[in-house]
A and B are shown apart, each in its own frame.
Chain A
């Protein structure tokens, strides 16, 4: 079944058509939720919630936009909401002074070297402030362009770029200071 046809049927109340959409997108949604939450259990719950939200809000979906993009945005939001509900959202302080210093001074550690510990990177990403976590995953995990991220989030390309830069600074700080431990990870 074509996605457009499935969406049309869903809007007409066809549950089977929505099941088809869940089957088609579940891997992408789950993967994003997993990277967002850092936990398999939370990811499965967040992904379910994302699909339910999508079903409830189907009337607000603009068919001119890609369904996947709309769904992934819901998945990211549901992941953050779930972690907040479960008290697992440990937001790292977005220190403006540190950001400014990082923007001008030399980096003590190379992110290329720090990223060799893949597990630490994933834990660190899952500990970033929500807006930074989202933009990092949209860019590096989903492979979206700045323009696509801007369209999805309703931000300007410049703001997306700034968020990404600061997200990397925060990530560098977390990784180099060893702030991300098993306890810190969600």
Chain B
């Protein structure tokens, strides 16, 4: 009985276990029909490999393409180095602190003189900070920005509230 074609294919690819391999080999050596099937399979392999090769026109097209620019355009700029990151965190904390103080003052937690200094700080540093935020956003640091701002704002509000409490007690 002839082995199935799939079995012959497994034999050809060396995927059979040693016992099965020897069994099929013994059969193929004595069976002209199966030997012919194996020859045909080898020819098919060669024909398919040849059909899938790149032809000259395809090679020219491949050589004409340059993926470097489009790929690199989609890769964000490298994140800032550590000293710059520290500076950014400090600036963001200050911004958050100023925002928190201002909010506390405006909502009546703290009477003047906090308003003037907080407004002044935001007016001075605001545009630069905005540009910094946009730049960091492009650099993939957006997830870092908001926690730092929120923590800074919390500290600012807490400080303002604490100051008011201290004044109340005094």
Residue positions of A touching B, CB distance < 8 A: 13-15, 18-19, 22-23, 26-27, 29-31, 34-35, 40, 44, 47-48, 51-52, 55, 102-104, 110-112, 115-116, 118, 121-122, 125, 136-137, 140-141, 143, 146, 157-158, 160-162, 164-165, 168, 171
A171 CA / B52 CA spacing, docked (Å): 13
A23 CA / B70 CA spacing, docked (Å): 12
A27 CA / B66 CA spacing, docked (Å): 9
12 contacts between A and B (CB under 8 A): A13-B78, A19-B71, A22-B68, A23-B68, A27-B62, A104-B5, A111-B47, A111-B48, A141-B52, A141-B53, A165-B6, A171-B48
Total residue contacts A-B, CB cutoff 8 A: 116
Residue of A nearest to B16 (CB): A158
A141 CA / B55 CA spacing, docked (Å): 12
Q: In chain B, residues 100-121, which have Cβ atoms closer than 8 Å to a Cβ of chain A? A: none
Q: Which of A110, A141, A165 contacts B40 (CB 8 A)?
A: A110
A171 CA / B47 CA spacing, docked (Å): 13
Residues of chain A with a CB closer than 8 A to B72's CB:
15, 18-19, 22
Residues of chain B with a CB closer than 8 A to A121's CB:
48, 51-52
* B58 sits at the interface (CB 8 A): yes
* Given A18-B75, A44-B67, CB of A165 within 8 Å of CB of B52: no
The answer to whether B44 and A103 have CB atoms under 8 Å apart is no
The answer to whether B67 and A22 have CB atoms under 8 Å apart is yes
Q: In chain B, residues 50-104, which have Cβ atoms closer than 8 Å to a Cβ of chain A? A: 50-55, 58, 61-63, 65-68, 70-72, 74-75, 77-79
Residues of chain B with a CB closer than 8 A to A40's CB:
61
Nearest chain B CB to A5 CB, angstrom units: 17
The answer to whether B51 and A103 have CB atoms under 8 Å apart is no
A110 CA / B10 CA spacing, docked (Å): 19
* Given A104-B5, A164-B9, CB of A146 within 8 Å of CB of B15: yes
* Given A115-B50, A137-B52, A164-B9, CB of A15 within 8 Å of CB of B62: no
The answer to whether B52 and A48 have CB atoms under 8 Å apart is no
Q: Which of A34, A115, A125 contacts B44 (CB 8 A)?
A: A115
Residue of B nearest to A30 (CB): B62
Nearest chain A CB to B77 CB, angstrom units: 7
* Given A104-B5, A158-B15, A165-B9, CB of A140 within 8 Å of CB of B71: no
Residues of chain A with a CB closer than 8 A to B67's CB:
22, 26, 29-30, 44, 47-48, 51
Nearest chain A CB to B27 CB, angstrom units: 15
Nearest chain B CB to A54 CB, angstrom units: 10
Residues of chain B with a CB closer than 8 A to A26's CB:
65-68
